[in-house]
Homo-oligomer: A and B are copies of this chain.
Amino acid sequence: MSRIPLTPVVEALPSTVPFVGPEALERKRGVAFRARLGANESGFGPSPRVIEAIERAATGIWKYCDPENHDLKQALARHHGVRPENIAVGEGIDALFGYAVRMFVEPGIAVATSLGAYPTFNFHVNGYGGRLVTVPYAQDREDPGALVDLARRETARLIFFANPDNPMGSWWSADAVAELIGKIPETTLLILDEAYGEFAPDGTLPPLDTGNPKLLRFRTFSKAYGLAGARIGYVIGEAALVKCFDKVRNHFGVNRLAQAAALAALADQAYLHEVIARVASARQRISDIARSNGLEPLPSATNFVTIDCGSDGAYAKRLLDGLISLGIFVRMPGVEPLNRCIRVSSAPDTELDLFAEALPQALRSLG
């Protein structure tokens, strides 16, 4: 029997699993990682009140979620000082990126991003047949001026810009981002990824302006709120633009326990601030460990530290493999020159102790 044809766009896509999870590496190694420092998850976990909320909600898991995410949107609107109509909730920031790309990108449409920036966004652009155009990072930061020039030159419909950035941990001031927003070309929408926004110093996130129809700001409960496995994120923007997500989103797609967890997480701002402080300490410790091993930690406004290993991508990869073979899960940027670095997520001291122990071992074994 013959195969039914896929669409040309989908036919052209690879069937590989694009991002290898730590569990896959564990299955390959036959043993669990001792420290999980590779996915920028929050080893500090969510608030104890979130766990209580999940336990309370568990027996109601036979019910579909509220497809309007009403209560969470109300709470987020209060928290951010916007209207519920300015918020769309989705099953994780990756799903929301997927919806945004689907809304604006079709074959031939150009999308501007930085070479080495968030690969899942690129996965979606490729997935809808978009044409990715890139500029390099400048001094390990995304380069807003170059992105705007590129978008104008290529008539890009979307610009992707993360502030703070993953995988480098770098950031721009709110003023610089406001300048970028002011220069967005006439035919372009800015996808502003603020997944790590809660960790950034004051003055990093520009004020919310829900009157701008050329800007969508993406947030998540996966990082500072410690809910990566819950799959819940949101987007903030102009009401008519945000409303368009209803055209394409999976209306009943959010896990009911995730809704309860996100509500409880948002309500416990004291815990959030505690986590932010612990992350700051952990960043300091990771930086100290790097320096004491002769490596250079980059400044970070996120929950991870990107460490310059002082050589090329091949060297960093060998160091990464060494750490993995010692049971330390870390990751590294995918493209030059960023791939001279490895990326280490903040975590409780017990896990950083293991990193501190493993790093010199891994370095020694490289000779």
Contact = CB atoms under 8 A, between A and B. Distances in A.
Contacts of A67: 17, 19, 21, 24
Interface in A44-64: 44-46, 50-51, 54-55, 58-64
A126 to B, nearest CB: 10
Interface stretch (A100-108, A164-172, A294-302): A100-108
A229 B62 contact: yes
Interface in A277-296: none
A250 B187 contact: no
A150 interface: no
Nearest to A94: B250
Interface centre among A13, A106, A229, A248 (most CB of B within 10 A): A229
A191 B186 CA distance: 43
A98 to B, nearest CB: 6
Contacts of A70: 23-24, 27
A66 to B, nearest CB: 4
Given A54-B61, A229-B61, A253-B94, A247 B4 contact: no
A321 to B, nearest CB: 21
Given A55-B55, A251-B17, A257-B230, A23 B62 contact: no
Given A21-B66, A64-B228, A257 B54 contact: yes
A189 B7 CA distance: 13
B252 A3 contact: no
A179 interface: no
Interface residues of A, number: 89
Interface string A237-262: 00011011011101111111110010
Given A24-B68, A54-B54, A55-B55, A227 B61 contact: yes
Contacts of A106: 7-9
Contact of A104 (B7, B54, B55, B66): B7
B229 A257 contact: yes
A219 interface: no
14 contacts: A4-B188, A7-B104, A17-B67, A17-B246, A41-B63, A45-B62, A46-B62, A63-B229, A65-B229, A92-B250, A94-B250, A127-B247, A230-B256, A257-B257
